[in-house]
Amino acid sequence: MKLRLPVIVLAMPFIAISLLAGCDDERNARPIAGLSRGVPVQGAPAKAQVFAGDVVAHPFMAAPGRAAMHGDAASSDVHPFASPLGVNTQVHTRSGSRMFGGACATITFDRDGNLVALCSSGINLRLTLLSPRTLDLLAVYPLPGRPSTFAALVNRDVGKIMSDTSGGAYFYLDNEDRVVLADSQQKIQRIGHRKNAAGNWEFYQDAVWDLSSHVPHDCLDWGNWFPSGECDPVTAVMPDHRGLIWWVTRKGRIGTLNSDNGIVRVMPLQNEEIQNGFSVADDGVYIVSDHAMYGLQAKPDGTPSILWREIYDRGSKRKVGSINQGSGTTPTLLGSDYVSITDNADDRINLLVYKRRANLMSKRLVCKLPLFDSRASATDNSTIGFNRSLIAENNSGYRNALTQKNWSKPRGGITRIDIREDASGCDVVWQSDERSPSTVAKMSSLTSLAYFYTFEQQMDKQGKQQIQWYFTAIDANSGETRFKVATGVGRDFDNNWAPIALGPDGTAYVGVFGGIVAVYDVTASTHSP
């Protein structure tokens, strides 16, 4: 998946930039305009069904479900928590900014259940600490502005923002509840949070490592109006099972950082981009470029080494619903055997499943299965992976919250595919017509419900078309839609490529263009904010 963080200042005079600092630092959550009052629920409450799969914990990351955009090091997108069942379901929101949006994108959870999230505010990104369910603001940590934001302002081209996955979105929470991220100044930061002497929460920088001597950073920015060299932002970080911090750049540099001694090792790919996150298991690191799928390990000195490489069909062009001409999916690891991505084939994309073992005497590709409809098939979000099953959604036809005009273009479609037990291929188990145009979907292992963020076109009282957004639960076993909860109407409720996150308190959180949405059931043992 490739996350886009929106900033809406392109039509404003540059002087307006100075007015954006500190947008919405109010402690108490203020609702997003357009909230669906009364929260109508379509469908009937679901029954919880626990499934047998589990995700192995990573020794250097927070517990599964809490640790990263995709929940864990395997990028399973499965959370081991209870989740909404459609029983007296409520919606609570926090507005990110009064004027300029402010999506809270990547969401993780500390040991206390607080949300540690990367959010947009005006032209800046920042870490925010939010209380569960109430979404009250506890602490803020500002991050450097991204060069793409400045370039978008100068060129009045929002595409420069929407095609940039750098700046910290692919961070992870480590085993001591510290955020580890790569910022837009080529630094890896480790950021903790704590209560100060006054009893208030605060973020603090625990450590920082500079990669600028290893990665070129001649980027258009406030102090560099006429760059002449290479600009290569760092996009994602993740630790391996030795504790090395792996990092990747947009232009295909793959590196490691030894956080004990600061030693950095780099291996460049030639003429390949990396715009997705990556995944890690005890057998290696799995990275997809816009040309090939890689299995890697670190040499004894920390230098990345390729164990295997498989090229795939990258198609002839970038599609609407994709950020570049290549796979749109962070690799999903299944057990100890498989890794899965999708390709970018022209007519219909294919689900690709590979065997992970380094030394194979047989073919590595297990299956290449076409997905969705002819000429309307694309995905830019990682698949949900559990046991031998994968669930994929169709993002074809969706651009972003700022520029989407024709809402008949996102064709939709969600499908589950199972790997055969004898590894002879893969089969479609079910297909759904729900339209989830840009969501990093999630699944609860305690309910067997997969959650998506869907939309429907409808007319308002004046006869004008409006877009109604829904938090939608699909039975992972049958593919049936169990229930849909109306969240809000309009652009501020468009999730604009942000993930759903399932919290340990049973609340589901959705990053949307205007802030963040919390969805939860109210039962005898719970209460509303």
Give the residue extent of every domain in the chain.
37-521
Q: Which of 140, 107, 106 is nearest to 126 (CA)?
A: 140
Q: Is the pLDDT at 11 greater than 80, yes or no?
A: no
Contact in structure between 123 and 7 (CB atoms under 8 Å)? yes
Q: Is the pLDDT at 123 greater than 70, yes or no?
A: no
d(C-alpha 235, C-alpha 276), whole Å: 8
**Average pLDDT taken over every residue of the chain:** 89
Mean pLDDT, residues 240-267: 97
Residue 464 pLDDT: 84
Residue 148 pLDDT: 60
Contact in structure between 442 and 392 (CB atoms under 8 Å)? no
37-521 architecture in CATH?
7 Propeller (2.130)
Q: Is the pLDDT at 50 greater than 90, yes or no?
A: no
Could you tell me the sign of the dihedral formed by the alpha carbons of 434, 437, 443, 447, in that order? negative
pLDDT above 90 coverage of the chain, percent: 73
Cβ neighbours of residue 486 under 8 Å, at least 6 residues apart? 36, 39, 40, 41, 42, 91, 468, 469, 470
Lowest mean pLDDT, pick from 49-53, 143-147, 420-424:
49-53
Sheet strand arrangement including 104-109: 104-109, 115-121, 124-130, 137-142
Provide the b/e sequence for 111-140 (b: ≥16 CB within 10 Å): eeebbbbbbbbbbbbbbbbbbbbebbbbbb
| Tens of pLDDT, residues 361-413 | 889 999 999 999 999 999 999 999 999 999 999 999 999 998 899 999 999 99
Q: Which of 360, 363, 367, 314 is nearest to 340 (CA)?
A: 367
Higher pLDDT, residue 510 or 465: 510
Residue 379 pLDDT: 96
**DSSP three-state, residue 363:** coil
Lowest mean pLDDT, pick from 14-18, 97-101, 328-332, 351-355:
14-18
Which of the four pLDDT bands, split at 50, 70 and 90, describes residue 124? confident
Contact in structure between 381 and 438 (CB atoms under 8 Å)? yes
Provide the b/e sequence for 443-473 (b: ≥16 CB within 10 Å): bbbbbbbbbbbbbeeeeeeeeeeebbbbbbb
Residues listed for the chain: 529
Which of the four pLDDT bands, split at 50, 70 and 90, describes residue 501? very high
| Tens of pLDDT, residues 202-221 | 999 999 999 999 999 888 78
